[in-house]
A and B are shown apart, each in its own frame.
Chain A
Amino acid sequence: MKEYILKRLLTFIPLVIGITIITFVVMHLTPGSPVDSEIMSPHVDARARERLRRAYGLDRPIHVQYAGWVSRVVRLDFGRSFRDNRRVIEKIAERLPATLLLSFSSLFLIFLIAVPIGIISAVKHNTLIDRLLSALIFLGYSMPSFALALVLMYFLGVRIGWFPVSGMVSVNYEFLSFRDKILDILSHLILPVVTLAVTSLAFISMYIRSTMLEIIRQDYIKAARARGIGGFRLIFIHAFRNALIPLVTMTGLLLPSLIGGAVVFETIFSWPGMGRLAYNAIMSRDYPVVMGVGVIMAVMTLLGNLLADIGYAAVDPRVRYKK
């Protein structure tokens, strides 16, 4: 097991290097130099412009710039924001909890709903219930979730007024009791979490259904059934446990879409997380922040996959010995 983890960690290194290269290249090869937006102003004369370019190291060849940037990145120093001159890592750190709250709540909701749907659909294969659920899942899978966000925002937020439609806390948050503070955050959380979850929820339900269908046809299930095991025990102890293993990997695969979704949904719901930070930074061409968030998001995805792989290897010894 130790050997396996070590091996996996070694493959991790080139990927992280690749992530930094892609982030750097995308930011530097796209037209428009990073300081253009800062020094577009006609008040800045050519000499000052040159000074600024030198200050950011933009007069040096690109590989030298990259080396300098990476040597700082490994120390988690992404530089300072062009906008407010604060350290990028600080800005990210203060936004991270909101994003994690959003994505983990969605993940929780996804499994809470997808597992029963997938199992019921598989157990009641080809019945009316299965068909209904499958149709519903398919619809959810095709759902343009950002548009659904607007529809829900309008009907449940603006028209009926059940849920607040923007931000993470109310204006009077400071003055609420502890219990009300939690309720306040929860009520702000519901719409973004639901819309973020829809597509992945459908995806996971479909996956559980097809995996369970395969498992139910296996000999060991027939054997268990022959031994008189049935109902709940058969489904959960004998069948679903085996579906759970690949599910770990699927969760790893969900991460990029959940994190990427955060960019869109945090923007729509004005959720104060990393995704909105990224969007605002991209829109205002705040290069150090964009690069910082890019690297952090990608590395987070990578870490998630790594953890999923290790978890997989821990429960399924075959994986460890394969390579």
Chain B
Amino acid sequence: MIKKILSDKMALCGGCVLIILFAAAVFGPLLVPYSPMEQNLSLRLAPPSSQHLMGTDELGRDVFSRIIVGSRVSMTVGFVAVGISLIIGVPLGLIAGLYGGIIDRIIMRIVDIMLCFPSIFLILMVITFLEPNIMNVMIVIGITSWPGLARYVRGETLAVREREFVQAAKLMGLSRMRILFIHLLPNVIAPVLITATLGIGTAVLTESILSFLGLGVQPPDPSWGNILTAGREYMGQRAWWLIFFPSFAILITVFSFNLFGEGLRDVLDPRMKQKK
């Protein structure tokens, strides 16, 4: 499979950038030229220069260092939030698809109702009542983003359920749980993996919106979103670097997760490839 991924251009490009981003998130904070918290009030809102590659913010802190350290926040939120939505969405989708009937109808109604609300609205509604911190941001994004996943997994399960090998397993008297784990789960893993990869990009984006609105990572801790908040505030002072660089960081991250996800789709799901 790894060989296949390497041969897919999209997956390869996306994957390479992601590896760099991971490295930045893991090792970056140890290597950055300045402490992301270190203030230098004599150098407030300095434009990019050889000392400060991406300029400094309203308190004279190095924007480059803050963006690198901020990548750790974004990555963590992306993975954990998607992890939470997988833990809720996949079992519910499998159960709905396998059991059908009233259980299926109840779960799918809940999904339908949840999907009626614009997700950002639900997230805002819940998060204002909690402490604004990364932990809560991850939890809230996770518990509001499972419905789409559950619906998707249910669809895949329904398709697999009718296949001969599952019917055969049923005739052989396998219990539903065994069918679920041995036959259904492995068959939905590939599409779930793709959806999850694409979901990480969305979660990263949501976190940055929340932090931008002041409901996510709180200053002085750096995140891409709250650097943008400062950028908006100091727009009049023409501090374009406070807007441009964090925006670019978010774009690159979301873009490479999407690229990797689509590449993964080509590799794992040959049916889709024909369509393209």
Would you call B122 an interface residue if the criterion is a C-beta within 8 Å of the partner chain's C-beta atoms? yes
- Name which of B21-29, B83-91, B161-169, B236-244 contacts chain A: B236-244
Residues of B180-231 contacting chain A, CB below 8 A = 201, 205, 208-209, 212-213, 228, 231
Any chain B CB within 8 A of the CB of A15?
yes
Q: What is the minimal beta-carbon distance from B43 to any residue of chain A, in angstroms?
A: 22
Looking at the complex, which one of A32, A158, A260, A264 makes contact with B235 (CB distance below 8 Å)? A158
B259 beta carbon closer than 8 Å to chain A: yes
| CB under 8 Å from chain B, chain A span 152-173 | 153-155, 158-159
Q: Which chain A residues border B20 with CB–CB below 8 Å?
A: none
Asked if B128 and A283 make an inter-chain contact with CB atoms under 8 angstroms apart, the answer reads yes
B276 surroundings in chain A (CB, below 8 A): 210, 213
On whether A263 and B124 interact (CB within 8 A), knowing A138-B259, A256-B116, A256-B118, the answer reads: yes
- When distances are taken between beta carbons in the complex, the residues of chain B under 8 Å from A268 are 232
A19 close to B130 (CB less than 8 A): no
Q: How far is the CA of A114 from the CA of B138 in the complex (A)?
A: 33
- B247–A14 contact, CB under 8 A? no
Q: Is A201 an interface residue (CB 8 A)?
A: no
List A114-150 residues whose CB lies under 8 Å from chain B.
138-139, 141-144, 146-148, 150
B113→A279 contact, CB < 8 A: no
Contact with B along A285-306 (1 / 0, CB 8 A): 1000010011001110110000
**Whole-angstrom distance between the Cβ of A167 and the nearest chain B Cβ:** 15
Contact of A147 among B117, B246, B258 (CB under 8 A): B246
Instruction: Verify A158–B124 contact, CB threshold 8 A.
Output: no
A294 with B130: CB separation less than 8 A: no
Contact A285 B121, CB 8 Å, known A150-B228, A210-B275, A267-B213: no
Judged by a CB distance under 8 angstroms, whether A229 is at the interface is: no
Q: Which residues of A contact B236 (CB under 8 A)?
A: 158
Interface string of B232-262 (1 = CB under 8 A from A): 1001101010011011001100110011001
Which residue of chain A lies nearest to B246 when distances are taken between CB atoms in the complex?
A: A147
> In the bound complex, how far is the Cα of B109 from the Cα of A285, in angstroms?
29
Q: Is the CB of A15 within 8 A of B117?
A: no
C-alpha spacing A155/B241, complex, angstroms: 12
Instruction: Name which residue of chain A comes closest to B204, CB basis.
Output: A144
Q: Is A230 an interface residue (CB 8 A)?
A: no
Check if B275 sits within 8 Å of A30, measured CB to CB. no
Q: Is B125 an interface residue (CB 8 A)?
A: yes
Could you say which residues of chain B place their CB within 8 Å of the CB of A182?
A: none
| A142 touches which of B121, B232, B251 (Cβ 8 Å) | B251
A22–B114 CB distance below 8 A = yes
The answer to whether the Cβ of A317 comes within 8 Å of any Cβ in the partner chain is no
Question: Given that A138-B258, A153-B235 are known contacts, is A143 also in contact with B251, CB under 8 Å in the complex?
Answer: yes
Which residues 173-224 of A have a CB within 8 angstroms of B? Answer: 210, 213-214
Contact of B118 among A147, A263, A283 (CB under 8 A): A263
Chain A proximity of B71: nearest CB distance (Å) = 14
**Is B129 touching A32 in the complex (CB atoms < 8 A)?**
yes
Chain B residue numbers with a CB within 8 Å of A299 are: 116
Q: How far is the CB of B222 from chain A (nearest CB, A)?
A: 16
Residues of B near A153 (CB, < 8 A) are 232, 235
| B109: A residues at CB distance < 8 A | 14-15, 18
- Residues in chain A near residue B212, CB distance under 8 A: 146
In the assembled complex, the CB of B268 is this many whole angstroms from the nearest CB of chain A, namely: 18
Q: Which residues of A contact B133 (CB under 8 A)?
A: none
Kindly name the residue among B117, B201, B250 whose own CB sees the greatest number of chain A CB atoms within 10 A.
B117
A257 within 8 A of B: yes
Q: Which of A19, A30, A214 contacts B113 (CB 8 A)?
A: A19
Q: Which of chain A's residues have a CB closer than 8 A to the CB of B120?
A: 260-261, 263-264
Q: Which residue of B lies closest to A165 (CB)?
A: B235
> When A15-B116, A31-B130, A290-B125 are in contact, do A144 and B205 touch as well, CB less than 8 Å?
yes
Alpha-carbon gap, A53 to B120, bound state (A): 30
Docked complex Cα distance between A15 and B117 (Å): 11
Q: Which residue of A lies closest to B236 (CB)?
A: A158
Whether the pair B243, A154 counts as a contact (CB closer than 8 A) is: yes
In-complex Cβ contact of B232 among A150, A278, A297 (8 A): A150
* Residues from 14 to 65 in A contacting B, C-beta threshold 8 Å: 14-15, 18-19, 22, 26-27, 30-32
Contact with B along A213-244 (1 / 0, CB 8 A): 11000000000000000000000000000000
A9 within 8 A of B: no
Q: Does B112 reach chain A (CB closer than 8 Å)? A: yes
Beyond the given A26-B122, A260-B119, please list 6 additional residue pairs across the A-B interface where CB-CB is below 8 A. Answer: A19-B117, A144-B247, A159-B240, A260-B120, A290-B125, A294-B121
Task: Report which A residues bind B (CB closer than 8 A).
Answer: 14-15, 18-19, 22, 26-27, 30-32, 138-139, 141-144, 146-148, 150-151, 153-155, 158-159, 210, 213-214, 256-257, 259-261, 263-264, 267-268, 278-279, 282-283, 285, 290, 293-294, 297-299, 301-302
* CB pairs A–B below 8 angstroms (29 shown): A15-B109, A22-B113, A22-B114, A30-B130, A31-B130, A32-B129, A141-B258, A142-B255, A143-B254, A144-B251, A146-B208, A147-B246, A150-B228, A150-B247, A158-B236, A256-B115, A256-B119, A260-B118, A260-B121, A261-B118, A263-B121, A290-B125, A293-B121, A294-B117, A294-B125, A299-B116, A301-B117, A301-B118, A302-B116
